[in-house]
Amino acid sequence: MMRSIGASAQEFIRAFPGLNPAHHAALYDAYAEVLRSVERHAEEEFEAICEEESVEARLNAIDALCAERGVMDLDVASNAARVAYSGKSPDEVARNTRAEAKRKEAETLREEAAALEMAAQETIAALEAKREAVRAAATGLKTGTQGGDVVQDASTRWAARAPQPLKS
């Protein structure tokens, strides 16, 4: 139920100084009944709109998305207290709450990005180490190939040499 926004009986009477005092009570009662009716109809209309637009389901979906993103530390009770005691409009508090949620989401995303950057740096370092190992192995193969050339030359020379008599 919303808090009453109407004037008290004394405020109502002061607002109409030229009014016959005999009519004060009847007019104030009519005024109060109109306010109660407006409040009741406004609440009924609000509930009907919420039902038609599936507000509850949408809010639950938003809560689920916030939970997925880790943005659940919004302290709803504190926000309600701020609305009641700060004098700020609910819209302003809602904007501030959304802004705080966005700040928290941005911080979470920054942390995730930093973790990904760290993992990428570690992967790059591991790849660099493997690259150096491959280079060292390739250099070793070049050296071995050159040694093979030397062996081939020696074999060719040995085969091309003049026959030597056998010693008995």
Q: What is the mean pLDDT of residues 39-59?
A: 90
Q: What is the mean pLDDT of residues 18-30?
A: 87
> What's the pLDDT band for 137 if we cut at 50, 70, 90?
confident
Q: Which domain, by its residues, includes 38? A: 1-53
Q: How far is Cα 166 from Cα 36, in angstroms, rounded to an integer?
A: 132
Residue 16 lies in a domain: yes
Residue 23 lies in a domain: yes
- pLDDT tens digits, residue range 80-116? 665 566 667 777 777 888 888 889 999 999 999 999 9
Angle between helix 24-52 and 55-69 (nearest 10): 60
Q: What is the mean pLDDT of residues 54-82?
A: 74
Residue 47 lies in a domain: yes
Residue 38 lies in a domain: yes
* Short-list 90, 2, 93, CA closest to 47: 2
pTM flag (> 0.85): no
Residue 14 lies in a domain: yes
> How many domains would you assign to the chain?
1
What's residue 128's pLDDT? 93
Q: How far is Cα 130 from Cα 157, in angstroms, rounded to an integer?
A: 41
